[in-house]
Amino acid sequence: MAVKALPEPTLHRLPVYFQHLKRLNLRGIAVVSCSTIGRDLGLEPSQIRKDLEVTGIVGKPKVGFPVPALIAAIEHFLGWDKVKNAVLAGAEGLGPALLGLKEFNRYGLRIVGVFDADERLIGADLHGFEVRPLGFLPGIARSANARVGIITLPAPLAQGAADLMVSAGVRAIWNLAPIPVRVPAGVFVENRDFYFPLAALSCRLERQEVEAR
């Protein structure tokens, strides 16, 4: 049975709802409506309602959704309630920053190995992980049944790292290198460098300043 494609904008908004709901839960708010979420986040309630429908949760008309149940529904739909082992290729730049984020486990990821091609970094301790040679990645990924890979290497090394991950059974790659990587059918990849959002912000600011002149 084919899985119905999920609209990309919906997938981007669900984590935003999740974070907002977590804040509401901390404040002791037990029930929330799409209208309230829309008011808080500046979004249309009808769009929020449509987005939340994909999780399978059903709210009460004129009442809304129980906040804890809605949090759980989004968490389950996004797969954050099941921990997936992941390998990280890149021990400099963004790599250490990502390893320092304690929130990874909350979003269903457990880093099981850190790798790099730079001999100067091999053997270094990085947030409790020993940096291993990039060539060791397939063996460790297989033994840990890692299904997720994260790439923070320089552009010339990104494709090679992706190939190693795919050969080891990794089926989802978050590529933060400043170049897209190619993967075979059946492997998911998110090519997300930080130049695009920076360019978008800079362009919007420039246009705003031009219009104000």
Residue 1 has a pLDDT of: 37
Average pLDDT, the chain: 89
- For residues 23 and 62, membership in a common domain is answered with yes
Backbone angles phi, psi at 132, to 5 degrees: -110, 160
Is residue 148 one of the residues assigned to a domain?
yes
Secondary structure class of 168 (helix, strand, coil): coil
- For residues 48 and 102, membership in a common domain is answered with no
Structure tokens at 198: 């920076």
Q: What value does the CA radius of gyration of the chain take, rounded to a whole number of Å?
A: 20
Is residue 206 one of the residues assigned to a domain?
no
C-beta separation of 78 from 21 below 8 A:
no
Q: Which of 47-51, 86-90, 92-96 has the lowest mean pLDDT?
A: 92-96
Residue 30 has a pLDDT of: 95
- Domain boundary among the residues 77, 94, 123 is at 77
Distance of CA 47 to the CA centre of its chain: 22
Secondary structure class of 120 (helix, strand, coil): coil
What CATH number corresponds to the domain at position 182? 3.40.50.720
- Kindly state the average pLDDT of the residues 152-163: 96
- For residues 40 and 102, membership in a common domain is answered with no
- For residues 24 and 90, membership in a common domain is answered with no
- Domain boundary among the residues 77, 110, 135 is at 77
What CATH number corresponds to the domain at position 24? 1.10.10.10
Neighbours of 161 (CB within 10 A): 27
Residue 3 has a pLDDT of: 45
Residue 207 has a pLDDT of: 78
C-beta separation of 162 from 183 below 8 A:
yes
Domain that holds residue 126: 84-196
- For residues 119 and 167, membership in a common domain is answered with yes
Asked if the model's pLDDT at residue 44 lies above 90, the reply is yes
Is residue 189 one of the residues assigned to a domain?
yes
- For residues 107 and 61, membership in a common domain is answered with no
Structure tokens at 144: 């840990």
Portion of the chain with pLDDT greater than 90, in percent:
68
Structure tokens at 143: 């033994």
- For residues 71 and 168, membership in a common domain is answered with no
- For residues 97 and 154, membership in a common domain is answered with yes
Residue 194 has a pLDDT of: 61
- Kindly state the average pLDDT of the residues 66-91: 93
For the stretch 114-154, pLDDT in tens is 999 999 999 999 989 999 999 999 999 999 999 999 999 99
Asked if the model's pLDDT at residue 45 lies above 80, the reply is yes
55 vs 210, residue with greater confidence: 55
- Domain boundary among the residues 60, 77, 94 is at 77
Distance, in Å, from the CA atom of 210 to the CA atom of 193, rounded to the nearest integer, reads 27
Residue 67 has a pLDDT of: 96
For the stretch 178-204, pLDDT in tens is 899 999 999 999 887 666 666 667 777
- Kindly state the average pLDDT of the residues 100-111: 79
Report how many domains make up the chain: 2
CB within 8 Å of 111: residues ≥ 6 apart: 86, 87, 88, 99, 104, 129, 150
- For residues 121 and 175, membership in a common domain is answered with yes
CB within 8 Å of 116: residues ≥ 6 apart: 89, 90, 91, 92, 95, 122, 131, 132, 133, 134, 153
Is residue 212 one of the residues assigned to a domain?
no
